[in-house]
Structure 1
């Protein structure tokens, strides 16, 4: 199933629309949304997420419902460039989170941290405050690693809303965090961002490779060496499927150009207006 987004700059990759923006533009948009009472959602998608969304309708809908879907992963950014967005760079969840906290520090804005283990949250909060003394961490919560009861879920929503945080970083892993965000996008009154492994990275639990490795598109290989038992099958399948389907899409674009873009629903202007709910 293909979801087409109108009035936003970007292109469908496989079956998911991915926005084409710079990191600075994304930070400006998120900062503006944080000053609005309207709930917003921002997702970051890599190769694994795009392939999973192509076979899972619930994840595809979560990306379709998001206000922004950003290219977290060098191959995703490369695809956007091949599809005509020549200056697109990778915008990863961990990088975005750090940059936003730096900006929030300058104005004393508040954030909420949801997900991961309590020990990780404690270390993360300490490191964030050490780097950004004026950043207001309105609250943090490590949810149970099991399905929540309705009463528990209602209590979590009430706690986040009562904190007053206008930005909520969610670190539950894909696709759990995207499904949680879309299920709560009208209930949690903030800008919710699914930032994946950002909490582990910034807490120091997982070491990130050097910037040149990240930009080269081989960060996945470093993660594979760190956790081979869990990740080998994911990367073998997802990377192979993505390479095949993305190559076919890029070839179609090269042969058919603008007509291919028109059929795919490629558009040219970012949408910063209030969404219809």
Structure 2
């Protein structure tokens, strides 16, 4: 879509890939791609390549799902990072999977793990880290990687925000022993309860961005002032080009 790779998938298929990768001990990283990330990757060749090489680039946004279906991709459903995390967490209790959380504001990862353990008794949480917001030095990054590997997680959840979390996963892919890494951004805050989650009807209607803007106007107004009209214009162009191609074939 707009030159960026997205996975035509759904929550069930994505969950099955996680289970299979862990069972086979096959290392993968997974991105959760909303409209903002999609447009950023369109402008950044390195980031575009990161999404292209991901085991999954999950479609996080109803406008992305709607456009995918208009472009002929069947079976595509929205996979929110928060819902994906909930599903894998619930699934992992029966499988005995080990989880590690990296990211969020100070205390968020710890609050997240506590909330998830309460909701899912028996959940195996083997670590939670909140790195500084600034770029880590090589020594600090190595210390983080060593702490993660010492805990032997099956799933490493990264909540550093896009595109920082995607760049971190790729930069450390060969160093991390965990079979699955997933960048989920704001899911840490939603599941930890530090930020409110949009009502389901807003999520289904494609207006979750409006709810988030109302909650954090100073931080998000500039993002959505660019993302919303740009996505709409690119979508209209994509559909028009597709229609013109069909006309030419006839």
The normalised TM-score by structure 1 is 0.85
Runs of 4+ in 1 over 4 A off after TM superposition: none
The equivalent of 1:201 in structure 2 is: 190
SS in 2 for 1:91: coil
Could you tell me whether the CA contact under 8 Å between 1:37 and 1:189 is conserved in 2? no
Q: Is the 8 A contact 2:7 2:58 kept in 1?
A: yes
Q: How many residues align?
A: 247
Tell me how far 1:51 sits from its aligned partner.
0.8
Q: How does 1:54-133 map to 2 (within 5 A)?
A: 54-133=42-121
More helix by share: 2
Question: Could you tell me how far apart the structure 2 residues matched to 1:244 and 1:53 are?
Answer: 17
- 1:271 is matched with none
Matched, 1:178 2:173: no
Pick aligned residue for 2:153 from 161, 165, 185: 165
Give the conservation status (yes or no) of the 8 Å contact 2:107–2:130. no
Question: Residue by residue, what CA displacement relative to the aligned partner does 1:10-55 show, whole Å, maximum 9, x if unpaired?
Answer: xxx1121111112111101111112233321100111111111111
Instruction: Specify which of 217, 222, 233 is matched with residue 206 of structure 2.
Output: 217
Unaligned runs of 5+ in 2: none
Distance 1:81 1:186 in 2: 35
In structure 1, the residue corresponding to 2:24 is in which secondary structure? coil
Q: Deviations over 1:119-173 (max 9, x none)?
A: 2122211110111112101111111121111111111111111211011010011
- Aligned-residue offset at 1:67: 1.3
Q: Residue in 2 aligned with 1:240?
A: 229
Per the normalisation by structure 2, the TM-score is 0.94
Q: Which moved more, 1:152-161 or 1:195-204?
A: 152-161
From 16, 20, 31, the equivalent of 1:32 is: 20
Q: Secondary structure at the match of 1:185?
A: coil
- Name the SS for the 2:126 alignment partner: strand
Q: Point out where structure 1 has 5 or more consecutive residues left out of the alignment.
A: 1-12, 261-277
Contact 1:58 / 1:179 at 8 angstroms: preserved in 2? Answer: no
Counterpart-to-counterpart distance in 1, 2:206 and 2:48: 24
41-50 or 113-122, which moves further after superposition?
A: 113-122
Of the structure 1 ranges 63-72 and 245-254, higher mean CA displacement relative to structure 2 is found in 245-254
Which secondary structure does the structure 2 equivalent of 1:118 belong to? coil
Q: Which moved more, 1:208-217 or 1:219-228?
A: 208-217
- More contact order relative to length (CA 8 Å, sep ≥ 6): 1
Q: CA RMSD in A?
A: 1.5
Cα-to-partner distance string for 1:69-110 (whole Å, 9 max, x where unaligned): 010111111121111123321101111001100000122211
Kindly indicate whether the alpha-carbon contact (under 8 Å) linking 1:65 and 1:182 is maintained by their aligned counterparts in 2: no
What is the CA–CA distance in structure 2 between the aligned matches of 1:41 and 1:122, rounded to whole Å? 23
